[in-house]
Amino acid sequence: MAGAGETVIDSQSTHVLPLEFQRRYPVLVRGDGVWVEDASGKRYLDAMSGGSMAATLGHGRKDIIAAAKAQAAKLAYVHNERLTNPAQELLAAELAGVAPGGFTRVRFVTGGAEANEMALQLARRYHVDRGDSGRWQVISPAQAYHGPTMATLALTGRPGLKRPFEPYMSEHHHIPPSTWRFDPTGEQALEALDRVVEASGPGTISAYFCEPVSAAALPAYSPPKRFWEGLAERRAKHGFLICFDEIVTGIGRTGHWFAAESLPIVPDIIATAKGLGAGYAAIGAVLCGSHVYDAVAGGSRKFTLGHTWDGAPLSCAVGLAVMHALKQEGLIERVRERGPQLRDELAKALDGVTMVHEVRGRGYLLGIEYVDPRDGRSYLPPDLRTAGRVDDVAFENGLITYSTMPTRDGFAGDQTLFAPPFTSTDAELAEMVARYAASIRQVANELESKLQASPVA
């Protein structure tokens, strides 16, 4: 992955248990704005906000660092089980102030999977406290990612992610995504939902759990309007809750505080994480509508399970500074206004590259989907690992991207996420687009000769 002269760590020379054993890991040592630098001094444009879409404000923000330092000096840590602290209280109020109407309560956690798992527990608590304890199963789109814990892995339908851990997982239900390839209107997904509800029994379903706009699993994809309307009708009829995984989309990524704002449906529970700490603190949150809170308040009055770092002063102070910066600098408005233009610029720069099927997105959550250029429709042959090659070439060209090749799961092929920090200047965005387009053209050229020897997938 790393080019000449860069310092890399490989699985033979490290004590870290790596995620991918065959990968060589470039060593990044500092960051400044939308740039990061490796140990050899080579600089890269960070088109993925820290690689995971968390670093929404870029690197080296003095205001966030100062807020963390001040809080650490005053009171870094107390546990929220029997104690609270001003930073937790203030951040909860701030979040309730920007959340969809009726979302009045917030519980903090330390990351995305924890937030999703807490949302799952809260949905179950809601039903149990209303005397409806038969409800526990979840319906979710198969092509999704909700985290690596056993409970959150069980919420995806991707065998490639789950297989070895399946003995630990509860059985939930999955429906196919309503993408252009499978179900452009969303009607088939609604029919699949109906079949699952009927087969399982409406009284067994606790929640429908989904990303309102997908992240890595289907970059920047969101189901058509009809699907959301049909989902709301079925919630009203069958009594399950709707949980939105806004781990990526929450706190501005799509040009709204929450992506829910831009959809014709209001969820009951929202889980968010990455952008709340903006890469400066490990923090996530679960937010719920007052009807969910009221059910627990009028029932067991308990929602007691939590983690050591939930609501800690240090991470909440960072969250407050992040929200302050987003408001003060009008960054969410900037993402909302600039996002469509960025999408058009990407599409224009990729014009004529036949393996690019679509450039889609909302705000600064953009996705590029690749197809086999020979028919403009099929997945690329998986053994060519085209998306992986995109990331490698981009990296050589000084650009950080994130691509996925989940073809074996059946619902998606090679694709790339493009998710820059909200603070990127026009010139930086233009340079990211230029480096990305140059990388794609190089990969497309290489692909041409490889495809001559390969059957259509």
Ligand X SMILES: Cc1ncc(COP(=O)(O)O)c(C=O)c1O
Give CA–CA dist 412/27, Å, rounded. Answer: 31
Instruction: Write the CB contacts of 211 (distance below 8 Å, at least 6 apart in sequence).
Output: 141, 144, 145, 146, 217, 244, 245, 246, 247, 248, 249
Residue 247 or 433 with smaller CB distance to ligand X: 247
Round to whole Å and give the CA distance between 260 and 249. 9
Which CB atom, from 178 or from 272, has the smaller least distance to ligand X?
Answer: 272
Would you give the binding string for ligand X spanning residues 38-57, x where CB under 6 A is met? --------------x-----
248 binds ligand X (CB under 6 A): yes
Query: Which tokens in the block code for residue 248?
Result: 């990526």
For residue 151, give the H/E element and its range: helix 150-153
Structure tokens at 299: 């029932």
Give 42 or 158: the residue with its C-beta nearer to ligand X.
158
112 binds ligand X (CB under 6 A): yes
Q: Is 307 in the site for ligand X (CB under 6 A)?
A: no
113 is a contact residue toward ligand X (CB under 6 A): yes
Stretch that binds ligand X, among 27-35, 139-147, 254-262, 324-332 (CB under 6 A): 139-147
273 contacts 285 by C-beta, under 8 angstroms? yes
- For residue 354, state whether it binds ligand X (rule: CB under 6 A): no
**Judged by CB under 6 A, which of 26, 50, 58, 111 binds ligand X?**
111
Q: How many residues does the chain have?
A: 457
- Shortest separation between residue 53's beta carbon and ligand X, angstroms: 7
Signed CA dihedral, 434, 439, 444, 449: sign only: positive
State how far the Cα of 135 lies from the Cα of 169, in Å rounded to an integer. 17
Contact 148, 156 (CB under 8 A): no
Q: Which is nearer to ligand X, 116 or 403 (CB)?
A: 116
Contact between 310 and ligand X by CB under 6 A: the answer reads no
Q: Quick one: how far is CA 389 from the chain centroid?
A: 22
- Going residue by residue from 191 to 220, which x/- string records binding to ligand X, judged by CB under 6 A? --------------------x---xx----
Binding of ligand X at residue 154 (CB under 6 A)?
Answer: no
Instruction: Single out the residue of 59, 61, 135, 146 in contact with ligand X (rule: CB under 6 A).
Output: 146
Site string for ligand X, 259-278 (x = CB under 6 A): --------------x-----
Token pair of 199 as six digits: 């087969």
- Show the site string, 223-242: x = touches ligand X by CB under 6 A, - = not: --------------------
Closer to ligand X by Cβ: residue 80 or 156: 156
- List beta partners, residue 46: 400
Which residues partner with 286 through β-bridges? 107, 271
Quick check: 150 binds ligand X (CB under 6 A)? no
* Closest distance of CB 250 from ligand X, Å: 10
Strand, coil or helix: what is 116?
Answer: helix
CB of 421 to ligand X, least distance (A): 16
| Nearest distance from C-beta of residue 148 to ligand X, angstroms | 7
Q: Is 406 in the site for ligand X (CB under 6 A)?
A: no
Among the residue ranges 105-113, 219-227, 333-341, 411-419, the one whose residues contact ligand X (CB under 6 A):
105-113
Long-range contacts of 124-132 (CB under 8 A, 24+ apart): 124/206, 125/295, 125/296, 125/299, 125/300, 125/303, 126/241, 126/268, 126/292, 126/295, 126/296, 127/206, 127/241, 128/299, 128/300, 129/295, 129/296, 129/298, 129/299, 129/300, 130/295, 130/299, 132/203, 132/239
Q: Among 46, 94, 117, 245, which residue interacts with ligand X (rule: CB under 6 A)?
A: 245
Nearer to ligand X, 161 or 232 (CB): 161
68 lies in the binding site for ligand X (CB under 6 A): no
Phi, then psi, of 296 in degrees rounded to 5: -75, -40
Q: Which residues bind ligand X (CB under 6 A)?
A: 52, 111-113, 116, 145-147, 211, 215-216, 245, 247-248, 273
